[in-house]
Amino acid sequence: MVLCHECDLPHAFEAVPRGRKAKCARCSAHLYGAMTDELDRPLALAVAGMILFLVANMFIFMTFEMEGREQANSLVSGSIEFWRAGYWELALLVFLSSVFLPFCSLALMLYLLVPLRLGITPVWAARVLRWVVSLRPWAMMEVYMLGALVAIVKLTDFADITLEPGFYAFVALILVLSATNAALHPEALWQRVSAGRATGQEAVDAQTVVGCHACGHVLPGNLEAHGQNCPRCDAAMHHRKPESLTRTWAVLIAAAIFYVPANIYPIMTVISFGQGTPDTILSGVIHLIEANQWPIAILVFFASVFVPILKIGILGFLLISVQIGSNWRPRERTAAYRVTEFIGRWSMIDIFMISILVALVKLDAVATIEAGPGAVAFAAVVILTMVSAMSFDPRLIWDQVEDSHG
Ligand SMILES: [Zn+2]
Ligand SMILES: [Zn+2]
């Protein structure tokens, strides 16, 4: 039996052919893909990914040349510059999301796949697989790539930018990483790594069942009978995410408050020949329009202005609709929730762009770019809206529907 992780509807498991996926019959959430538990492809891709990761981090990323002076940066330079300027929050965030967590994700995959390929189940296999899955939204290399693109567009008008080997390795790494994620089917691997710990998909007949939110394992009966942790992946099991409404509200309100300073204060200051011009999120978009960079302007406007408002609006609406017990269009509301989960991380584009600019443009009085306090507030908005979306439990939408229809 498989429980839909978004509306809790039970489905009988049925294998699907490669390249197809099983969707929930009620809310059309993605349930599982083809259960091909082949290891060769994800393993080969993860090894390639690790090599590219090392190359991307060891070599120079870009070189910036202006007035006969040159400045090079690497992937970690932005974090170091933030740290030096006293913005430790941004330093930590950029380092974690663009270097450390992608590395962890690859290292954990190798830890899992190499022994499995050799026929050995590594220690903590199920727990490690759970970490691999839950790390995915926080490793933001492809978002970093777009941030780099915006930074290049902003600089090409008045300086020469040369892309270095580290940059090309990084582009290849992003392609390999997305192929790895597509080749790795956690649904199939769960069976393999849980051998001996839990009896896979048991035939469950009971009226009440509880599904593990991390690995999808289904157990009959109520939680008291099983204790609090999933027997397969060891995650804490809950009928619904605990205190979902209260937590989501708290984090969402915090995000909405940070949205104000994020837009009022400058996110960066461009100092050129001693003259400083502070840039807010909106003035950055306007500069791009003035430079006739329409596609990039639309991209930045969408990611930095529109997406945060959209997320705060949708989550607020979902919270209120659940609290007043509405059973209006549950399918569409679940789809709206899925959108907020998917688009949240793309707002990091501006933060990554600033991290590249501060590391490249530091030619003292000639040209220097410094981060501004608005960037810290904006980073807080992105992270808080992501956490808020994760703490909302979409199954609450369907509880109302079940209550009213029996
Ligand atoms: Zn569903
Ligand atoms: Zn589990």
- pLDDT tens per residue across span 241-290: 889 999 999 999 999 999 999 999 999 999 888 888 899 999 999 989 99
Query: Cα of 338 to ligand 1 centre, how many Å?
Result: 11
What's the mean pLDDT in 167-188? Answer: 90
Q: Which ligand is nearest to the CA of 190?
A: 2
Q: Which ligand is nearest to the CA of 29?
A: 1
Sign of the CA dihedral running 351, 355, 360, 366: positive
Query: Cα of 132 to ligand 1 centre, how many Å?
Result: 23
- SS3 string of the chain? CEECCCCCCEECCCCCCCCCEEECCCCCCEEEECCCCCCHHHHHHHHHHHHHHHHHHHCCCEEEEECCEEEEECCCHHHHHHHHCCCHHHHHHHHHHHHHHHHHHHHHHHHHHHHHHCCCCCCCHHHHHHHHHHHHHHCCHHHHHHHHHHHHHHHHCCCEEEECHHHHHHHHHHHHHHHHHHHCCHHHHHHHHCCCCCCCCCCCCCCCEEECCCCCCEEECCHHHCCCECCCCCCECCCCCCCHHHHHHHHHHHHHHHHHHHHHCCCEEEEECCEEEEECHHHHHHHHHHCCCHHHHHHHHHHHHHHHHHHHHHHHHHHHHHHCCCCCCHHHHHHHHHHHHHHHHHHHHHHHHHHHHHHHCEECCCEEEEECHHHHHHHHHHHHHHHHHHHCCCHHHHHHHHHHHC
- pLDDT band at 403; cut points 50, 70, 90: low
Query: Cα of 30 to ligand 1 centre, how many Å?
Result: 8
| Model confidence, pTM | 0.91
Query: Cα of 104 to ligand 2 centre, how many Å?
Result: 21
Range of lowest pLDDT (152-161, 219-228, 335-344): 219-228
Domain coverage including residue 376: 2-405
| Distance between CA atoms of residues 201 and 212, nearest Å | 12
The beta-carbon contacts of 104-108 under 8 Å, at least 24 apart in sequence, are 104/131, 104/135, 104/139, 105/132, 105/135, 105/136, 105/139, 106/46, 106/49, 106/50, 106/53, 106/177, 107/50, 108/132, 108/135
Query: Cα of 31 to ligand 1 centre, how many Å?
Result: 8
Query: Cα of 135 to ligand 1 centre, how many Å?
Result: 23
Averaged confidence pLDDT in the chain: 89
For position 254, what pLDDT does the model report? 98
| Distance between CA atoms of residues 239 and 213, nearest Å | 9
pLDDT at 75 over 70: yes
Query: Cα of 195 to ligand 2 centre, how many Å?
Result: 13
Residues in the chain: 406
Query: Cα of 382 to ligand 1 centre, how many Å?
Result: 27
Contact 308, 385 (CB under 8 A): yes
| Distance between CA atoms of residues 352 and 152, nearest Å | 12
Query: Cα of 117 to ligand 2 centre, how many Å?
Result: 23
Q: Which ligand is nearest to the CA of 133?
A: 2
Query: Cα of 226 to ligand 2 centre, how many Å?
Result: 12
Query: Cα of 370 to ligand 2 centre, how many Å?
Result: 45
Q: Which ligand is nearest to the CA of 193?
A: 2
Q: Which ligand is nearest to the CA of 232?
A: 2
- pLDDT band at 175; cut points 50, 70, 90: very high
Query: Cα of 199 to ligand 2 centre, how many Å?
Result: 12
Query: Cα of 10 to ligand 1 centre, how many Å?
Result: 8
Query: Cα of 338 to ligand 2 centre, how many Å?
Result: 21
- pLDDT tens per residue across span 282-338: 999 998 999 898 999 999 999 999 999 999 999 999 999 999 988 889 999 999 999
Task: State the total domains in the chain.
Answer: 1
Tokens 């060769």 -> residue: 40
| Distance between CA atoms of residues 112 and 99, nearest Å | 20
Query: Cα of 185 to ligand 1 centre, how many Å?
Result: 20
